[in-house]
């Protein structure tokens, strides 16, 4: 099961579907509470645990992926305590960006909540103490990714304005890596690349998460002869919304291009 506040976690599903052949995904988008990035920590903690406890009982997944940085940096310990399956979280890819930067200046593009979390401070002081880290929090960019998956046009001008502090001439050296610390943002990778200087790499955590999921599933296959998620004849993915279901043709074609070959959609599921 893969979880996010909206369509952002689909960017993580894309990597999982490439790496984990035969996996069946139940994708849960808590869009009734979207966006998470502007909500209080207390509200989010209670909300996420309630929604996921219900969905866990209904779908009995082998692995749960919290494909949302805003949620992961807040509720992973709670969920791991309550659920008896592996819970994989997504945190901003500060570590690889800090290891690979040549200029020593990296960007972090995330929700306002993730940008100010103490978890993020810890990641930076542990893995990037030698780097200047320029942080930009944007709720608007999260909405733009949602709009993009509904088939609406993305304004390059607006993207340029949101990301302009990364490319300011006042930095100690040019930024060469920008961490996409929100799972919605890789969905706009092509547009971000278009409006950034040459040589800038936009780094996300999708492939690292997919590798972790692959290892966990291989371990499970070793333990049980045939876990339900690996029967190839049952490969109909589910995409579930807590609010209104997103079901227009453009979204369906985006799901196909992200690797969902066969799926069913459901909206307004009961939770809590």
Q: Which is nearer to ligand DGL, 44 or 63 (CB)?
A: 44
Q: Name the residue among 99, 141, 167, 146 with its Cα closest to residue 4.
A: 146
Spatial separation of the C-alpha atoms in residues 93 and 31, rounded to whole Å: 25
Q: What is the smallest separation between the CB atom of 104 and ligand DGL, expressed in angstroms?
A: 26
Q: What is the smallest separation between the CB atom of 28 and ligand DGL, expressed in angstroms?
A: 13
89 binds ligand DGL (CB under 6 A): no
Q: Which is nearer to ligand DGL, 63 or 109 (CB)?
A: 109
Spatial separation of the C-alpha atoms in residues 132 and 34, rounded to whole Å: 31
Binding characters for ligand DGL, 29-68, by CB under 6 A (x = yes) = -----xxxx------------------------------x
Among 4, 62, 176, 204, binds ligand DGL (CB under 6 A): 4
Q: What is the smallest separation between the CB atom of 72 and ligand DGL, expressed in angstroms?
A: 8
Say whether 182 is catalytic. Answer: yes
184 binds ligand DGL (CB under 6 A): yes
Among 74, 182, 187, 210, binds ligand DGL (CB under 6 A): 182
Residue tagged active-site, from 131, 182, 195, 271: 182
Say whether 256 is catalytic. Answer: no
In three-state form (DSSP H/G/I as H, E/B as E, the rest C), the secondary structure along the chain is CEEECCCCCHHHHHHHHHHCCCCCCEEEECHHHCCHHHCCHHHHHHHHHHHHHHHHHHHCCCCEEECCHHHHHHHHHHHHHHCCCCEEECCCCHHHHHHHCCCCEEEEEECHHHHHCHHHHHHHHHHCCCCEEEEEECHHHHHHHHHHHCCCCCCHHHHHHHCHHHHCCCCCCCCCEEEECCCCHHHHHHHHHHCCCCCCEEECCHHHHHHHHHHHHHHHHHHCCCCHHHCHHHCCEEEEECCCCCCCHHHHHHHHHCCCCCEEEECCCCCC
Q: Which is nearer to ligand DGL, 3 or 230 (CB)?
A: 3
260 binds ligand DGL (CB under 6 A): no
Q: What is the smallest separation between the CB atom of 264 and ligand DGL, expressed in angstroms?
A: 23
Q: What is the smallest separation between the CB atom of 13 and ligand DGL, expressed in angstroms?
A: 12
Q: Which is nearer to ligand DGL, 114 or 196 (CB)?
A: 114
- Note the residues at the interface with ligand DGL (CB under 6 A): 4-6, 8, 34-37, 68-70, 111, 114, 142, 182-184
Catalytic residue annotation: 68, 182
């Amino acid at each position: 099961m893969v979880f996010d506040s909206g369509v952002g976690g689909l960017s993580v599903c894309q990597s999982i579907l490439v790496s984990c052949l035969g996996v069946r995904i139940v994708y849960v988008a808590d869009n009734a509470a979207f966006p998470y990035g502007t909500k209080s920590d207390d509200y989010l903690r209670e909300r996420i645990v309630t929604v996921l406890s219900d969905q866990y009982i209904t779908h009995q997944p082998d692995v749960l992926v919290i494909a949302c940085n805003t949620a992961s940096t807040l509720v992973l310990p709670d969920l791991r305590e309550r659920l008896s399956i592996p819970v994989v979280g997504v945190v901003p890819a500060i570590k690889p960006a800090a290891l690979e930067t040549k200029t020593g200046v990296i960007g972090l593009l995330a929700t306002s909540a993730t940008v100010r979390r103490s978890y993020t401070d810890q990641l930076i002081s542990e893995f990037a103490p030698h780097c200047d880290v320029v942080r930009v929090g944007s709720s608007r960019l999260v909405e733009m990714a949602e709009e993009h998956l509904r088939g609406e046009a993305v304004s390059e001008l607006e993207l340029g304005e949101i990301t302009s502090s990364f490319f300011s001439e006042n930095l100690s050296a040019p930024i060469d890596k920008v961490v996409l610390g929100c799972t919605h943002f890789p969905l706009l990778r092509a547009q971000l690349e278009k409006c950034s200087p040459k040589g800038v790499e936009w780094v996300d955590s999708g492939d690292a998460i997919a590798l972790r999921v692959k290892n966990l599933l291989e371990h499970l296959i070793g333990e049980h002869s045939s876990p339900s998620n690996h029967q190839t004849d049952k490969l109909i993915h589910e995409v579930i919304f807590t609010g209104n279901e997103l079901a227009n043709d453009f979204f369906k074609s985006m799901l196909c291009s992200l690797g969902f070959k066969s799926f069913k959609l459901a909206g307004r599921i009961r939770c809590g």
